[in-house]
Structure 1
């Protein structure tokens, strides 16, 4: 780990350069018992141990009495006739679905106290969450997971992903989350590990208004040392006031002209004038803060309903604002086999501000005909200040340089704004025996980084000073912008046949059109020839950056702006994906307690990545790479309710996974989360998955369950992340491995222990809650000399290599942990809000990147992340003051103090690719409900 000596070196360098969960649980209420209707004898009524319900897919609305979980997802079905289910304890959403599902209700999300939905999903059986908010299902990465909002597609504001990071969604805007691990054809075909469907609130059961505030901090950040910079007056709420864009004036105009900002287009005097417009002091100068502030959050929500004639109208609104800080002190090493090339010590502080709002309007005409109109807004800003010191090695001995001055000190600042706007309308209707679901949405996501600074200073031993090399490695600024639009619509129709057997036929259509546009430009500050090389250092190159790039210094030293991104095909890419899907399926109950669901989906996908001829100077124009494929995707599931409160499920399916835009685009991009540079591979192809699963479920009591499952997946052409080393920096790209296998088993237990046997009124409503799950999975890649892999080689060429020169046969796929375990043990009151919950999470090592090729022609060890063991504690208490309801919550996260580890384990050596202390977080909040 970074040492105090390292921190002290960075502090001295700063002085020299500065002028001044819940687990996924089915809901705990059972369907109310009913008496036989008039004229029906008790003998004709269902057996008292059998529940009679109308069946629907997870997309059907849930009655308040049937576990009261609000779920809106694609698909609609109704057997019309009654289904006899043996056992009163099988929960409603599980009974309704022919698939393997886990359901997180509002109450269950609240019990774990996670601030965003990604944290809550991390406690579901077989799910793990990366440190940047992406969910892995059964070890399969985010490219194999599908995230939907009310059954409709979501865009991503991340250049590296097509899937939205789920830590963008505060738990306050989600009423339920459904994780479906077995494929059904009413969902899109891009279904590898599973689908995660989030449902927003619709019509409130009662009028309410809730307001709350919270404060938190962690032992590595709060009141500790970190870096910041000024920015703009509105940074505190996550919005730039124009300092980074509007105030750039003619520089902003020059960037918009689509002409290279070089001496071939502008005079040196004009380029110097443009350099003076950059607000150096406000956006590029790091400030040392010895007491980073605590995190704060505010949230308000309200809802009401009323009747307009016979129609019930509901309105729900939510707004929130949070401001959080996180400091990392990290070690980042790069090696070529056992030879160390670079050892970097990093201190970085991120200020993250999230503003969110939701407005939902629902209309309920009767029990079967409903409309919901949902509008979601999320604005997520990351303000990052980073300083690093690096040693480079010739001998490979990582210990020989400890205590020496760093070879290079680098300062970086960025201000990244991510925004998601989603508007959608969903209708659920019934006409006689015909059920119809219709849904449509428009979503827009943006990612804007208006001014990213990289400022290196190099140590010159002859002068014993750090200098800014304005020729070889000058300061640079970057501008990037991403815009993505997603149009999505579809409908589902189901009809129960009037036959003795319970048979329902359903069909549907879904259309998705995704368009992404990404631009990235980089400019450097260069000198006009006054800097003298060969260690004769002029004084001005030793100046702090705010003086070096001041207007007077720019004029005197002939400093000017020069664009480095002059490759006309390396600036902008456009991504297009149009998918048309149609499906048909049948659900049959051939015998009491036996249910078969089978269907097929036909999906036609047209995907293209276009490297735009940005400056219009490429003789061949734009470079376009297309993937046009269509697939028939069958799926079948057998559910057998073979005894009271027991179910057996068996499923099989074929699904696909398409490359993400960023995996296809070869334009380099720096990921601030992993501190790595990524570039895509336009020669990737689709992956195809063959899935099988068997599961036994037992429900011993209301809200309780025990399940055990086995699963197997065969993946053709899986897409893997491959590490590389360029200029002593770790980078990554992507390639298709020939094939891979994944198999494993899951176990889950939920049990309640009433404490009324202890006697006394105080224990009459108390109980202990135990919820545990464990997933074992194993995977391996098949790679041999006879298979070839296409890797990208600039400019826009492919190179076919034997697969065993890129992958090592038998190694696990990226993102897969062999062991995942969650244990939740708590105490709660069944009549009032009083909970104390201990949450233990464990994930074993998983590969984050394939090992890079070394100079000897071999493949270095994989880069392995070690999530390890974490313990969280959440306490919630409700109370009244003068008849007013309040809720108080206390959280302690990562009590075990588990740090972040990303390493390579070689023969007799270990490389610390990215290692830093995470710390323990403490949080308290108070809310009032009116």
Structure 2
């Protein structure tokens, strides 16, 4: 929870720091010592083939001369950072935090803001994110290998030629250009192999890029591959109930409802293919064609055991521990497949002559995000359910002890018996009529985007006028995670198939490889063999007409949207003796077609009533103007002051705004679960200010402050419908309770960033090879709903730190990198307009330390070693306070070594 007094103090601190930085102009400037590197530079693009200092210098030069507040990371072909995907590479830049999935970088957050507030483009072409189920527009960076990029830019203030759908930042991923580098034939690549500490799985990577250029014609082609076999240790805790909650078991006290013990074995891959052709018949003229294919693959085995404390026959439980009699245990197993693919194809051209600059591009992008998780669930029979004692003295690592359940002194009663050495996994069997359940969990989202853009600029002395347009047509089709077509695997259900299924038959003799204390052990389940048998069961039942995969997804979960955006912009850049001003506006006309179906189940109070699907369409259309101004003042030769203002927008995700829903007329009041097609976009006004002091050693010392005022903040909750959108057949549903996403009132996000990087060239040799790169971001912000005030923005840590200490000389390069972020809110509880504070789920802060070592054997060949996650970070979550943990997870340290080459 953020207090206004603290907010004001932070902003006053920001202003003071900016003032102190301005006073630094009096500091003497030390003589700069340049360190040579093998590099090539052309306007607007960087190709770095040398040392850290060269890449760092090129990035700073672009930042120094930029029209807006921007941070740039030049691609480092020697691989000075151990980053396999673009999320990891971006996390090195100021005010960037990373969100991980099972330890792997996936999303990035700029300035602590929700990831939906950051837009993404590739070579200036806007991209849309299509995450699992379409419940966020966040772009998945784990599907974009870092090797295909030449630079990464974070635009923290907007100019009119940048897309307005960016409340805090626009990230532009810039791909390799063969004409921007040296002429001739070049090959660059790497091969590496290593191990994962937890589970001893393999880790491997390889990349190859081949290019040719004669100054007029250029061609490039390449591929990348990264794969790891990983074990993920995971413990989770279910909800925490209360005797006053009608859902709680009256026989128990306040405490956890279940202890969830999981382990994942997975094989993850990131693959990429890319190619490009460029032709430049004359200086300032270029036409090009580029194609990129990227994919993320995850084949994941899950072994999961839920000790269902709230279903105990008797006993007590609380936050510190419990003693319970006859506790059922439910097991879940699966081998699931996750896939994310991007197909990006662009043609374009540039023309420059007599002060005119014209840039044209046309792009087609398809994204595919698919999930198939055939999950098997089975429970212990009542007679074999153990009694349980659990100890929460270490909240993240509950210790569980099992006992036999034996008859008590009175007839029909049961008590805790002798201790058990371990949980007997063979008690998870088909012991009742329904048997095990097979649940085909599925989710798909597909997008097809066509984009055309044109930019025209004319230099008129000290003034440059720029204008252009963009047209984007996007089709989005998909459905949310669905579990609606469960199959019984009991002997009766499989009768006539010649098949049988017993979960206990897949238990192996191999114990879990775990680093977590637990109190009992488990053996792995052969999920690969189980999956093969399940596929056979699916196929057999389908051939007999007893299973229809079309029923896996209810119509209410599906959505079909089309977005058309027509944009025009104009801006003027005025250069004067001590700086420049860029001002203008962007006009966007947005049109949304939104179609789906609402499920109205049969009403038992109406004889003959049957369930019906109601087709629905709720379009939107609006036009917005987004002005912006960016001013840069060259205070001295080494100091730059910037100030900017802008308006931006963030639109709801596809899953949030879908019209599909499930309506229940039998409750009082009625209830509706689904999308909210009446959601409004979030709008923001923002200001930025920064002071940048450029120092020797390709260095910079900068301080920047920002503030965003946001309207219509999006959040998930439960609220009255309030409109007639769901009314049919004379039934008024405006007073029903809708569980969905809603617009809150207003909010504010603000903070200050400190950034320092420099190679210590002023030190005597050999100490002049040392250098430092680091940044600190302090963030505050909150928003209001009708029911709650001062709610923190999900995903926002109030402190983010990135730091690297490096040494580079005599062909040796060593870099130690440190990343830390503080606790952050992840999920608002469903309830009173955003829930109550104790029901909100938080993610615990964590620290990551990586070390990258490089040694140049020759100018063309180097060896490397990457040591990742040396702190063995544990990723935690908790409900309200750390006394109520909900998850702890770790993947262990990772080690990789190999060779890089470039000719």
Task: Output the TM-score relative to the length of structure 2.
Answer: 0.73
Provide the residue aligned with 2:880 in structure 1.
Answer: 905
Deviations 1:484-528 (A, max 9, x none): 101111111111235xxx111111101111111115765322379
* 2:41 equivalent to 1:64: yes
1:699 is paired with a residue whose SS is: strand
With 558-567 and 139-148 compared, the bigger mean Cα shift is at 558-567
- Counterpart Cα distance in 1 of 2:304 and 2:647: 47
- With over 3 angstroms needed to count, the CA separation of the structure-2 counterparts of 1:331 and 1:382, relative to structure 1, is same
Provide the residue aligned with 1:652 in structure 2.
Answer: 645
Q: How does 1:578-727 map to 2 (within 5 A)?
A: 578-589=564-575, 591-612=576-597, 621-665=614-658, 680-701=675-696, 703-721=698-716
Provide the residue aligned with 1:355 in structure 2.
Answer: 271
Alpha-carbon distance, 1:348 to partner: 1.1
- Counterpart Cα distance in 1 of 2:572 and 2:835: 54
- With over 3 angstroms needed to count, the CA separation of the structure-2 counterparts of 1:668 and 1:748, relative to structure 1, is farther
- With over 3 angstroms needed to count, the CA separation of the structure-2 counterparts of 1:530 and 1:174, relative to structure 1, is closer
8 A Cα contact 2:433 2:492, kept in partner = no
2:88 is paired with a residue whose SS is: helix
Provide the residue aligned with 2:193 in structure 1.
Answer: 215
Provide the residue aligned with 2:515 in structure 1.
Answer: none
Alpha-carbon distance, 1:301 to partner: 1.4
- Counterpart Cα distance in 2 of 1:298 and 1:875: 17
- With over 3 angstroms needed to count, the CA separation of the structure-2 counterparts of 1:67 and 1:525, relative to structure 1, is closer
2:797 is paired with a residue whose SS is: coil
- With over 3 angstroms needed to count, the CA separation of the structure-2 counterparts of 1:542 and 1:90, relative to structure 1, is closer
* 2:177 equivalent to 1:202: yes
Deviations 1:302-335 (A, max 9, x none): 111126xxxx111111112222122222111122
Alpha-carbon distance, 1:720 to partner: 2.9
1:813 is paired with a residue whose SS is: coil
- Counterpart Cα distance in 2 of 1:755 and 1:484: 53
Provide the residue aligned with 1:144 in structure 2.
Answer: 117
Q: How does 1:285-364 map to 2 (within 5 A)?
A: 293-306=201-214, 312-333=216-237, 334-336=239-241, 339-364=255-280
8 A Cα contact 1:571 1:614, kept in partner = no
Provide the residue aligned with 2:745 in structure 1.
Answer: 738
- With over 3 angstroms needed to count, the CA separation of the structure-2 counterparts of 1:663 and 1:396, relative to structure 1, is farther
* 2:866 equivalent to 1:861: no
8 A Cα contact 2:718 2:832, kept in partner = no
8 A Cα contact 1:371 1:428, kept in partner = yes
- Counterpart Cα distance in 2 of 1:549 and 1:702: 61
2:83 is paired with a residue whose SS is: coil
8 A Cα contact 2:457 2:465, kept in partner = yes
Provide the residue aligned with 1:747 in structure 2.
Answer: 754
* 2:288 equivalent to 1:372: yes
Deviations 1:433-454 (A, max 9, x none): 21111111001111233x4211
8 A Cα contact 1:526 1:562, kept in partner = no
1:630 is paired with a residue whose SS is: strand
- With over 3 angstroms needed to count, the CA separation of the structure-2 counterparts of 1:721 and 1:889, relative to structure 1, is farther
- Counterpart Cα distance in 1 of 2:749 and 2:503: 56
1:64 is paired with a residue whose SS is: strand
- Counterpart Cα distance in 2 of 1:169 and 1:695: 31
1:838 is paired with a residue whose SS is: strand
- With over 3 angstroms needed to count, the CA separation of the structure-2 counterparts of 1:855 and 1:372, relative to structure 1, is closer
- Counterpart Cα distance in 2 of 1:631 and 1:854: 32
- Counterpart Cα distance in 2 of 1:108 and 1:776: 32
- Residue among 103, 107, 118 paired with 1:134: 107
- Counterpart Cα distance in 2 of 1:692 and 1:895: 38
Provide the residue aligned with 1:488 in structure 2.
Answer: 451
1:167 is paired with a residue whose SS is: helix
Deviations 1:346-379 (A, max 9, x none): 1112211232101011122333222232110112
Alpha-carbon distance, 1:401 to partner: 5.9
Alpha-carbon distance, 1:104 to partner: 0.8
1:662 is paired with a residue whose SS is: helix
Deviations 1:51-80 (A, max 9, x none): xxxxxxxxxxx9826796269xxxxxxxxx
Provide the residue aligned with 2:155 in structure 1.
Answer: 180
Unaligned runs of 5+ in 1: 1-47, 50-61, 72-87, 223-292, 533-538, 670-677, 725-731, 784-802
- With over 3 angstroms needed to count, the CA separation of the structure-2 counterparts of 1:142 and 1:607, relative to structure 1, is farther
1:172 is paired with a residue whose SS is: helix
* 2:901 equivalent to 1:928: yes
Provide the residue aligned with 2:825 in structure 1.
Answer: 847
- Counterpart Cα distance in 1 of 2:119 and 2:685: 17
1:107 is paired with a residue whose SS is: coil
8 A Cα contact 1:778 1:818, kept in partner = yes
Alpha-carbon distance, 1:653 to partner: 0.8
* 2:358 equivalent to 1:436: yes
Deviations 1:694-749 (A, max 9, x none): 1111112252111111111111112235699xxxxxxx953322111111111111
Q: How does 1:222-621 map to 2 (within 5 A)?
A: 222=200, 293-306=201-214, 312-333=216-237, 334-336=239-241, 339-394=255-310, 396-397=317-318, 399-400=321-322, 407-449=329-371, 451-463=372-384, 465-468=427-430, 471=434, 474-497=437-460, 502-519=462-479, 522-526=484-488, 530=492, 544=505, 560-561=546-547, 565=551, 569-589=555-575, 591-612=576-597, 621=614
1:860 is paired with a residue whose SS is: helix
- Counterpart Cα distance in 1 of 2:591 and 2:477: 17
2:116 is paired with a residue whose SS is: helix
- Counterpart Cα distance in 1 of 2:763 and 2:817: 24
- Counterpart Cα distance in 2 of 1:319 and 1:856: 46
- Counterpart Cα distance in 1 of 2:638 and 2:616: 59
Q: How does 1:154-173 map to 2 (within 5 A)?
A: 154-159=127-132, 160=134, 161-173=136-148
2:559 is paired with a residue whose SS is: strand
Alpha-carbon distance, 1:750 to partner: 1.2
1:455 is paired with a residue whose SS is: strand
1:877 is paired with a residue whose SS is: strand
8 A Cα contact 1:214 1:923, kept in partner = yes
Cα RMSD of the aligned pairs, angstroms, is 3.7
Unaligned runs of 5+ in 2: 1-28, 31-38, 49-56, 243-253, 311-315, 386-426, 495-499, 507-529, 602-609, 663-672, 720-738
With 679-688 and 808-817 compared, the bigger mean Cα shift is at 679-688
- With over 3 angstroms needed to count, the CA separation of the structure-2 counterparts of 1:164 and 1:91, relative to structure 1, is closer
2:764 is paired with a residue whose SS is: helix
- Counterpart Cα distance in 2 of 1:445 and 1:89: 33
Alpha-carbon distance, 1:400 to partner: 2.6
Deviations 1:173-213 (A, max 9, x none): 00011111011111111011101101111114142113421
8 A Cα contact 1:695 1:707, kept in partner = yes
- With over 3 angstroms needed to count, the CA separation of the structure-2 counterparts of 1:347 and 1:127, relative to structure 1, is same
- Counterpart Cα distance in 2 of 1:601 and 1:67: 23
- Counterpart Cα distance in 2 of 1:111 and 1:633: 39
Alpha-carbon distance, 1:473 to partner: 7.1
8 A Cα contact 1:353 1:382, kept in partner = yes
- Counterpart Cα distance in 1 of 2:218 and 2:68: 31
Task: Output the TM-score relative to the length of structure 1.
Answer: 0.71
Alpha-carbon distance, 1:164 to partner: 2.6
- Counterpart Cα distance in 1 of 2:537 and 2:71: 61
Q: How does 1:105-116 map to 2 (within 5 A)?
A: 105-107=74-76, 110-116=79-85
8 A Cα contact 1:841 1:869, kept in partner = yes
